[in-house]
């Protein structure tokens, strides 16, 4: 079991999740480009197979460095630990694959702005789930959640907020992402975080591949066109960012973790501003400020 974090450790883990959110936000352009060429399951399958392969040398090099330093091994030492690692990877992978699939389907029937706002509502769902799992959520955290949701609304929603079919599908996605965060919160302190991340990608890749062959038609030419975008998403958004998520969530309050990761929307807006030249209004900047204030207050 993991140890309770001190203030310095909590700050470092929060910073890891902030980097994770920055990568997810900046990868939005790559994901949008790739989606123009291949189906959702094809994109998800290839992306996660790339992430699985990417983490192989990472694990080997990390294990060798630890061995030279005389540190205790981090790989499972017996059958019970291996089963626990597999169970964690299977659960995290299932929720990650399901959430990503629901999000991709929902985006077809709603606007990107509304999809981004509704997806990030996991900042509200996570503390509620945490209570059901016997975790304490301080009143200060609820205030931070309210600030984050208000910031997300200003950042993402420009018109009237109504719930359509697509919005409902994306709301299911938000619930599944919240389940993935809580699953990581349970398993991360008890297993090797990098191996848990790789197992999560392996399960997601397998499930996505099955769905790809069942529901989509693979076009090799389109796949080649989408490959640069998929490779970026596989290495950075999956291999690096989701691994940082598992490391960052280790022994960190899941409510604080969800608030920090919701900053993905801010980084996506900033990436659109810097890379694509999309302007940001005073309303959107105000939303960014409110979300940043929520993260700062959660750390005080």
What average pLDDT does range 248-266 have in this prediction? 80
- Please list the helix, strand and coil fractions of the chain in percent, rounded to the nearest 5, in that order: 80, 0, 20
Contact 56, 216 (CB under 8 A): no
Q: Which residues contact 282 (CB under 8 A, 6 or more apart)?
A: none
Which of 16-30, 34-48, 185-199 is predicted with the least confidence, judged by mean pLDDT? 16-30
- Please give the average per-residue pLDDT across 263-267, as a whole number: 75
Q: What is the CA radius of gyration of the chain?
A: 19
Give CA torsion, residues 154, 131, 96, 22, to 10 deg: 40
pLDDT score, position 50 = 95
Question: How much is the pLDDT for 1?
Answer: 43
More confident of the two residues 202 and 163: 202
Q: Read off the tokens for 190.
A: 């008890």
Top-confidence range, 24-33, 94-103, 143-152: 94-103
Give dist(CA 116, CA 283) in Å, integer.
16
The model's pLDDT over 204-255, given as tens digits with 9 standing for 90+, comes to: 999 999 999 999 988 899 999 999 989 998 999 889 988 888 888 887 888 7
Question: Which tokens sit at 92?
Answer: 């995290």
CB 20, CB 245: distance < 8 Å: yes
Locus of tokens 């949008």: 32
pLDDT at 144: 78
Residue 93 pLDDT grade (very low, low, confident, very high; cuts 50, 70, 90): very high
Distance CA 104, CA 91 (A): 20
- Mean pLDDT, residues 68-97 taken together: 85
Model pLDDT, residue 88 = 93
User: Rounded to whole angstroms, how far apart are CA atoms 208 and 40?
Assistant: 9
Mean pLDDT within 108-116: 67
Q: Residue 165 phi/psi, 5° resolution?
A: -60, -45
Q: What is the DSSP letter of 81?
A: H
**Are residues 50 and 231 in contact, defined by beta-carbon separation less than 8 angstroms?**
yes
Cβ contact 73:258 at 8 Å:
no
Asked if residue 4 has pLDDT above 80, the reply is no
What's the mean pLDDT when you consider all of the chain?
82
Provide the token pair at 197: 């991340």
CA end-to-end span of the chain, whole Å?
26
Write the pLDDT tens digit of every residue in 27-81: 767 777 777 888 889 999 999 999 999 999 989 888 888 788 777 667 776 788 8
- H-helix or E-strand containing 85? helix 79-107
Rounded distance between C-alpha atoms, residue 83 and residue 184, angstroms: 16
Residues 6+ apart with CB under 8 A from 201: 48, 49, 51, 52, 55, 93, 238, 239, 242
CB 22 within 8 A of CB 274: no
């Amino acid at each position: 079991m993991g140890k309770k974090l001190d203030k310095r450790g909590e700050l470092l883990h929060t910073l890891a999740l902030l980097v994770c959110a920055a990568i997810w936000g900046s990868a939005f352009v790559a994901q949008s480009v790739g989606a123009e060429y291949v189906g959702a399951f094809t994109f998800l399958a290839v992306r996660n197979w790339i992430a699985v392969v990417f983490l192989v040398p990472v694990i080997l090099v990390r294990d060798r460095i630890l061995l030279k330093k005389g540190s205790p091994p981090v790989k499972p030492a017996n059958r019970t630990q291996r089963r626990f690692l597999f169970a964690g990877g299977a659960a995290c992978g299932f929720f990650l694959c399901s959430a990503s699939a629901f999000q991709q389907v929902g985006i077809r029937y709603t606007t990107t702005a509304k999809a981004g706002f509704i997806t990030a509502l996991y900042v509200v769902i996570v503390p509620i789930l945490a209570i059901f799992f016997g975790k304490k959520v301080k009143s200060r955290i609820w205030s931070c959640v309210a600030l984050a949701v208000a910031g997300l609304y200003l950042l993402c929603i420009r018109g009237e907020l109504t719930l359509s079919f697509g919005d409902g599908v994306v709301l299911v996605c938000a619930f599944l992402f919240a389940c993935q965060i809580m699953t990581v919160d349970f398993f991360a302190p008890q297993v090797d975080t990098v191996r848990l991340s790789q197992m999560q990608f392996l399960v997601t890749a397998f499930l996505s591949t099955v769905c790809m062959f069942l529901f989509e038609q693979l076009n090799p030419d389109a796949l080649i066109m989408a490959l640069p975008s998929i490779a970026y998403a596989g290495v950075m958004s999956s291999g690096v960012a989701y691994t940082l998520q598992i490391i960052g969530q280790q022994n960190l309050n899941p409510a604080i973790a969800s608030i920090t990761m919701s900053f993905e929307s801010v980084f996506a807006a900033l990436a659109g501003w810097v890379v694509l030249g999309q302007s940001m209004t005073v309303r959107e900047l105000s939303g960014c400020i409110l979300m940043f204030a929520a993260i700062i207050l959660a750390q005080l």
